[in-house]
Structure 1
Protein backbone atom coordinates (compact mmCIF):
# COMPACT_ATOMS: atom_id res chain seq x y z
CA UNK A 1 0.00 0.00 0.00
CA UNK A 2 2.92 2.37 0.56
CA UNK A 3 4.06 2.69 -3.10
CA UNK A 4 0.46 2.92 -4.36
CA UNK A 5 -0.36 5.73 -1.94
CA UNK A 6 2.87 7.56 -2.87
CA UNK A 7 2.03 7.22 -6.60
CA UNK A 8 -1.51 8.53 -6.10
CA UNK A 9 -0.29 11.55 -4.11
CA UNK A 10 2.31 12.42 -6.74
CA UNK A 11 -0.22 11.96 -9.58
CA UNK A 12 -2.73 14.13 -7.71
CA UNK A 13 -0.11 16.86 -7.14
CA UNK A 14 1.03 16.78 -10.79
CA UNK A 15 -2.58 16.99 -11.97
CA UNK A 16 -3.27 20.12 -9.93
CA UNK A 17 0.04 21.77 -10.88
CA UNK A 18 -0.63 21.18 -14.60
CA UNK A 19 -4.19 22.45 -14.22
CA UNK A 20 -2.97 25.58 -12.44
CA UNK A 21 -0.32 26.24 -15.10
CA UNK A 22 -2.87 25.86 -17.89
CA UNK A 23 -5.08 28.43 -16.19
CA UNK A 24 -2.17 30.85 -16.23
CA UNK A 25 -0.74 30.09 -19.67
CA UNK A 26 -3.84 29.41 -21.78
CA UNK A 27 -5.35 32.94 -21.63
CA UNK A 28 -1.97 34.43 -22.59
CA UNK A 29 -1.60 32.01 -25.51
CA UNK A 30 -5.15 32.70 -26.71
CA UNK A 31 -4.57 36.45 -26.54
CA UNK A 32 -1.37 36.13 -28.59
CA UNK A 33 -3.13 33.95 -31.17
CA UNK A 34 -5.98 36.48 -31.48
CA UNK A 35 -3.49 39.33 -31.91
CA UNK A 36 -1.66 37.37 -34.62
CA UNK A 37 -4.92 36.71 -36.48
CA UNK A 38 -5.98 40.36 -36.20
CA UNK A 39 -2.59 41.53 -37.47
CA UNK A 40 -2.80 39.15 -40.42
CA UNK A 41 -6.34 40.36 -41.24
CA UNK A 42 -5.26 44.00 -41.11
CA UNK A 43 -2.32 43.32 -43.40
CA UNK A 44 -4.53 41.54 -45.92
CA UNK A 45 -6.98 44.46 -45.80
CA UNK A 46 -4.26 46.86 -46.85
CA UNK A 47 -2.98 44.59 -49.59
CA UNK A 48 -6.44 44.12 -51.12
CA UNK A 49 -7.30 47.78 -50.53
CA UNK A 50 -10.54 49.41 -49.62
CA UNK A 51 -13.06 49.20 -46.88
CA UNK A 52 -13.60 45.67 -45.48
CA UNK A 53 -17.34 46.37 -45.26
CA UNK A 54 -17.59 47.58 -48.84
CA UNK A 55 -19.64 45.46 -51.23
CA UNK A 56 -17.60 43.98 -54.02
CA UNK A 57 -19.01 42.03 -56.89
CA UNK A 58 -16.78 39.22 -58.05
CA UNK A 59 -17.31 38.08 -61.60
CA UNK A 60 -15.71 35.05 -63.11
CA UNK A 61 -15.09 34.41 -66.74
CA UNK A 62 -17.75 31.85 -67.78
CA UNK A 63 -15.45 30.46 -70.47
CA UNK A 64 -12.64 29.42 -68.10
CA UNK A 65 -10.76 26.28 -69.00
CA UNK A 66 -11.75 23.22 -67.01
CA UNK A 67 -15.13 24.61 -65.95
CA UNK A 68 -18.38 22.92 -66.83
CA UNK A 69 -21.03 25.07 -68.48
CA UNK A 70 -24.58 23.78 -68.83
CA UNK A 71 -27.05 25.51 -71.08
CA UNK A 72 -30.67 24.44 -70.99
CA UNK A 73 -32.78 25.00 -74.07
CA UNK A 74 -36.32 23.97 -73.17
CA UNK A 75 -38.29 22.50 -76.03
CA UNK A 76 -42.05 22.42 -76.52
CA UNK A 77 -42.19 18.85 -75.19
CA UNK A 78 -40.65 19.72 -71.83
CA UNK A 79 -42.82 22.84 -71.48
CA UNK A 80 -46.02 20.86 -71.97
CA UNK A 81 -45.02 18.14 -69.45
CA UNK A 82 -45.59 18.81 -65.81
CA UNK A 83 -45.61 17.03 -62.47
CA UNK A 84 -44.02 13.61 -62.12
CA UNK A 85 -43.16 13.24 -65.80
CA UNK A 86 -40.46 15.93 -65.50
CA UNK A 87 -39.59 15.45 -61.84
CA UNK A 88 -36.94 12.80 -62.41
CA UNK A 89 -36.42 9.18 -61.59
CA UNK A 90 -38.38 7.57 -58.76
CA UNK A 91 -37.34 4.53 -56.75
CA UNK A 92 -39.88 2.07 -55.36
CA UNK A 93 -39.58 1.38 -51.66
CA UNK A 94 -41.34 -0.66 -49.01
CA UNK A 95 -42.46 0.92 -45.78
CA UNK A 96 -41.21 -0.97 -42.75
CA UNK A 97 -43.26 -0.80 -39.58
Structure 2
Protein backbone atom coordinates (compact mmCIF):
# COMPACT_ATOMS: atom_id res chain seq x y z
CA UNK A 1 0.00 0.00 0.00
CA UNK A 2 2.92 2.32 0.73
CA UNK A 3 4.29 1.82 -2.80
CA UNK A 4 0.96 2.99 -4.31
CA UNK A 5 1.02 6.17 -2.21
CA UNK A 6 4.64 6.78 -3.20
CA UNK A 7 3.87 6.40 -6.91
CA UNK A 8 0.81 8.67 -6.64
CA UNK A 9 2.86 11.24 -4.72
CA UNK A 10 5.62 11.21 -7.36
CA UNK A 11 3.09 11.61 -10.19
CA UNK A 12 1.29 14.44 -8.37
CA UNK A 13 4.59 16.15 -7.58
CA UNK A 14 5.64 15.87 -11.24
CA UNK A 15 2.47 17.56 -12.52
CA UNK A 16 2.53 20.28 -9.84
CA UNK A 17 6.19 20.99 -10.62
CA UNK A 18 5.52 21.03 -14.37
CA UNK A 19 2.56 23.42 -13.98
CA UNK A 20 4.42 25.74 -11.59
CA UNK A 21 7.44 25.93 -13.93
CA UNK A 22 5.16 26.95 -16.79
CA UNK A 23 4.00 29.86 -14.68
CA UNK A 24 7.18 30.83 -12.85
CA UNK A 25 9.89 30.30 -15.49
CA UNK A 26 8.70 33.06 -17.89
CA UNK A 27 8.47 35.48 -14.95
CA UNK A 28 11.99 34.57 -13.79
CA UNK A 29 13.41 34.91 -17.32
CA UNK A 30 11.75 38.32 -17.73
CA UNK A 31 13.26 39.55 -14.47
CA UNK A 32 16.68 38.18 -15.45
CA UNK A 33 16.63 39.95 -18.83
CA UNK A 34 15.47 43.21 -17.23
CA UNK A 35 18.36 43.01 -14.76
CA UNK A 36 20.85 42.32 -17.56
CA UNK A 37 19.51 45.22 -19.65
CA UNK A 38 19.73 47.56 -16.66
CA UNK A 39 23.31 46.47 -15.95
CA UNK A 40 24.29 46.97 -19.60
CA UNK A 41 22.75 50.44 -19.65
CA UNK A 42 24.64 51.38 -16.50
CA UNK A 43 27.90 50.17 -18.02
CA UNK A 44 27.34 52.12 -21.22
CA UNK A 45 26.64 55.29 -19.24
CA UNK A 46 29.80 54.83 -17.19
CA UNK A 47 27.97 54.52 -13.89
CA UNK A 48 29.12 50.97 -13.18
CA UNK A 49 31.42 50.67 -10.16
CA UNK A 50 34.53 48.71 -11.17
CA UNK A 51 36.22 48.95 -7.80
CA UNK A 52 33.82 46.72 -5.91
CA UNK A 53 34.74 43.78 -3.72
CA UNK A 54 33.80 41.29 -6.45
CA UNK A 55 36.15 42.88 -8.96
CA UNK A 56 39.26 40.71 -9.47
CA UNK A 57 41.12 43.66 -11.03
CA UNK A 58 41.13 45.74 -7.86
CA UNK A 59 40.38 49.43 -8.11
CA UNK A 60 39.65 51.08 -11.40
CA UNK A 61 38.40 49.99 -14.79
CA UNK A 62 39.62 46.48 -15.71
CA UNK A 63 39.92 47.52 -19.36
CA UNK A 64 42.07 50.53 -18.59
CA UNK A 65 41.48 54.13 -19.45
CA UNK A 66 41.68 55.22 -23.09
CA UNK A 67 44.14 58.01 -22.27
CA UNK A 68 46.37 55.58 -20.35
CA UNK A 69 46.35 53.11 -23.23
CA UNK A 70 47.31 55.78 -25.74
CA UNK A 71 50.15 57.07 -23.58
CA UNK A 72 51.43 53.55 -23.00
CA UNK A 73 51.53 52.83 -26.73
CA UNK A 74 53.59 55.92 -27.37
CA UNK A 75 51.62 56.89 -30.45
CA UNK A 76 50.88 60.55 -30.87
CA UNK A 77 48.46 60.35 -33.78
CA UNK A 78 45.92 63.11 -34.08
CA UNK A 79 42.40 62.31 -33.09
CA UNK A 80 40.32 61.19 -36.06
CA UNK A 81 43.34 59.97 -38.03
CA UNK A 82 43.82 56.31 -38.85
CA UNK A 83 47.22 54.68 -39.05
CA UNK A 84 47.54 51.31 -40.82
CA UNK A 85 50.61 49.31 -39.81
CA UNK A 86 50.13 46.33 -42.13
CA UNK A 87 48.54 46.02 -45.54
CA UNK A 88 48.30 42.43 -46.83
CA UNK A 89 49.46 41.72 -50.36
CA UNK A 90 46.71 41.23 -52.88
CA UNK A 91 46.68 38.08 -54.93
CA UNK A 92 46.08 38.30 -58.66
CA UNK A 93 42.47 37.57 -59.43
CA UNK A 94 41.93 34.66 -61.80
CA UNK A 95 38.87 34.66 -64.01
CA UNK A 96 36.98 32.15 -66.09
CA UNK A 97 37.99 28.51 -66.26
CA UNK A 98 41.17 29.06 -64.28
CA UNK A 99 39.12 29.36 -61.07
CA UNK A 100 36.33 26.95 -61.99
CA UNK A 101 38.24 23.74 -61.33
CA UNK A 102 38.53 20.55 -63.36
CA UNK A 103 35.92 19.69 -65.96
CA UNK A 104 35.10 16.06 -66.75
CA UNK A 105 33.17 15.00 -69.84
CA UNK A 106 30.51 12.43 -69.17
CA UNK A 107 27.68 10.71 -71.00
CA UNK A 108 24.27 10.23 -69.54
CA UNK A 109 23.37 6.55 -69.29
CA UNK A 110 19.71 5.65 -69.73
What TM bracket, shorter-length normalisation? Answer: 0.3 to 0.5
The answer to which structure has the higher helix fraction is 1
Give the TM-score normalised by structure 1.
0.48
